[in-house]
């Protein structure tokens, strides 16, 4: 089969590989729709997780099952399924303790395009099909379904980590597709005021759609100074970081009220250390919590998040600004993700012929 791969740091290309084998608990799928991710950009061009050779990319997609292992109970050939970016080993001790995304080691629940071949291929392998797949429900457009693999769960995980509650004043730093889903998640969790940090006008428009009340442009000066101006010097209660770099944490600490929480989902592609400003961190006693986490994946999360779309609580269509037809277009879609033109939020690639537009 052919697949679009990371050949080495800074290099991508099409390669031929054996079709993956199906274990007793597994499934083999062919993609029906796919999306590239900013994480692929960090992985390939920043070498952020180290060298990878001939590893097929892609961890956001929906698929059609072409083969199931003999122990798989709930899925059959022909089912169209949501596939999470994170596919944990549910029997692992890490999963049992509540951190399924780290099953088998730190970040090891993230298998596609990290430890094994991803979805940008004619076929891809899903471990623990019963634990990780979910049927695409009625009312969820299969073309948009890849947004449920990673963008929705990750943006929402920023909100979960920040522990946003009713009435909280929240800041979301970064309003690419992940940050936009953090804005949507904060709205669903009852945030009162939502300050967002970004610069591209189409993202700002989408952020307002999802519930942003105030816009901060990080190109106009320090984020913390701007937030202090907007809050009479008080700062905010919760912060989700979904963009920026290692220096963003200092800004977030300065902008946070004592007792506040920062939930980071940004993938830090470069830089050695994160600096915590001593005085702004209450000289060590400010109760300003920083949490950073890979999104949880798995079947239940796919089921629950897709219900928000199914029952009209979450509109994922605003995330998708570009559509391509045909597996070979994953290359163009990924390059678009790398360039980040002004009109881009997220591209999708439609692979199933009956879905092509
Ligand atoms: P985008 O690149 O689309 O968005 C990044 C956002 O951050 C933009 O709004 C951008 O502003 C803003 N930004 C850029 N520089 C700064 C800065 N210096 N200070 C403040 N804001 C800044 O990324 P995505 O939304 O696709 O992804 C966000 C991050 O989440 C990525 O690092 C990605 O790898 C990571 N990720 C993490 C996952 C997890 O499980 N934890 C899963 C998936 C993704 P603008 O462009 O408007 O100027
Ligand atoms: Zn992703």
**What spacing in Å lies between the alpha carbon of 351 and ligand 2's midpoint?**
18
Q: Does ligand 1 come within 6 angstroms of the Cβ of 60?
A: no
Give the rounded percent of residues in the chain with a pLDDT score beyond 70.
100
Tally helices (H) and strands (E) across the chain: 10, 16
| Backbone angles phi and psi of 164, in degrees to 5 | -70, 130
Of ligand 1's listed atoms, the one at least distance from the Cα of 344 is: 3
- Ligand having the closest approach to the CA of 41: 1
Q: Residue 166's CB: how many other CB atoms inside 10 A?
A: 8
At 309, is the secondary structure helix, strand, or coil? Answer: helix
Mean pLDDT of 174-186: 98
Ligand 1 atom nearest the C-alpha of 204 is: 47
Tokens of 279: 């005085």
Rg (CA), the chain: 20
Query: What is residue 269's predicted lDDT score, i.e. its pLDDT?
Result: 86
Separation CA 8–CA 169 (nearest Å)? 43
The mean pLDDT value for 125-146 works out to 98
pLDDT band at 259 (very low <50, low <70, confident <90, very high): very high
Average pLDDT of span 203-229: 98
**C-beta atoms surrounding 32 within 10 Å:** 23
216 lines ligand 1 (CB under 6 A): no
Distance CA 170, CA 159 (A): 9
Sheet with 55-56, side-by-side order of all strands:
11-16, 2-8, 55-56
- Record the pTM: 0.97
Question: pLDDT tens-digit profile of 37-75?
Answer: 999 999 999 998 999 999 999 999 999 999 999 999 999
Ligand 1 centre from 345 Cα, in Å? Answer: 11
Asked whether the beta carbons of 84 and 126 are under 8 A apart, the reply is: no
Ligand 1 contact, 161 CB (< 6 A): no
pLDDT(309) > 90: yes
Question: Which ligand is in closest contact with the Cα of 110?
Answer: 1
DSSP single-letter state for residue 49: T
Residues 6+ apart with CB under 8 A from 216: 171, 195, 196, 197, 223, 226, 227, 230
The number of the ligand 1 atom at minimal distance from the alpha carbon of 295 is: 40
Measured between alpha carbons, how far is 232 from 215 in angstroms, rounded to an integer? Answer: 16
Chain segment 82-109, per-residue pLDDT in tens: 999 999 999 999 999 999 999 999 999 9
CB contact set of 334 (below 8 Å; sequence gap of 6+): 4, 12, 36, 40, 41, 57
Q: What does the pLDDT average to over 101-126?
A: 97
Reduced to 3 states (helix: H, G, I; strand: E, B; else coil), residue 299 is: helix
């Amino acid at each position: 089969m052919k697949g679009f791969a990371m050949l080495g740091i800074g290099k991508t290309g099409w390669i031929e590989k054996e079709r993956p084998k199906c274990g007793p608990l597994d499934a083999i799928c062919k993609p029906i729709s796919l999306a590239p991710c900013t994480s692929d950009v960090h992985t390939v061009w920043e070498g952020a997780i180290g060298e990878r050779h001939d590893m097929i990319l892609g961890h956001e997609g929906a698929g059609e099952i072409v083969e199931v292992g003999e122990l798989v109970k709930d899925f059959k050939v022909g089912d169209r399924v949501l596939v999470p970016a994170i596919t944990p080993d549910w029997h692992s001790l890490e999963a049992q303790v509540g951190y399924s995304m780290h099953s088998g080691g730190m970040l090891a629940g993230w298998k596609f395009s990290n430890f094994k071949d991803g979805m940008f291929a004619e076929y891809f392998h899903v471990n623990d099909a019963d634990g990780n797949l979910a049927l695409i429900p009625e009312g969820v457009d299969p073309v948009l379904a890849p947004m449920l693999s990673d963008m929705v769960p990750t943006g929402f995980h920023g909100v979960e980590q920040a522990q946003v509650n009713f009435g909280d004043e929240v800041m979301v730093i970064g309003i690419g597709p992940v940050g936009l889903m953090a804005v949507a998640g904060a709205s669903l969790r009852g945030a009162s005021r939502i300050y967002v940090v970004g610069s591209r006008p189409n993202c700002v428009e989408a952020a307002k759609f999802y519930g942003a009340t105030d816009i901060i442009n990080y190109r106009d000066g320090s984020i913390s100074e701007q937030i202090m101006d907007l809050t009479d010097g008080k700062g905010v209660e919760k912060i989700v970081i979904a963009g920026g770099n290692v220096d963003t944490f200092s800004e977030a600490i300065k902008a946070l009220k004592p007792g506040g929480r920062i939930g980071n989902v940004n993938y830090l592609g470069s830089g050695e250390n994160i600096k915590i400003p001593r005085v702004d961190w209450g000289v060590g006693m400010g109760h300003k919590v920083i949490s950073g986490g890979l999104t949880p994946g798995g079947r239940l999360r796919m089921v629950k998040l897709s219900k928000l779309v199914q029952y009209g609580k979450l509109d994922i269509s605003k995330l998708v600004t570009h559509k391509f037809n045909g597996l070979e277009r994953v290359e163009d879609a990924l390059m678009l993700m790398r360039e980040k033109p002004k009109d881009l939020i997220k591209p999708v690639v439609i692979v199933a012929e009956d879905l092509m537009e």
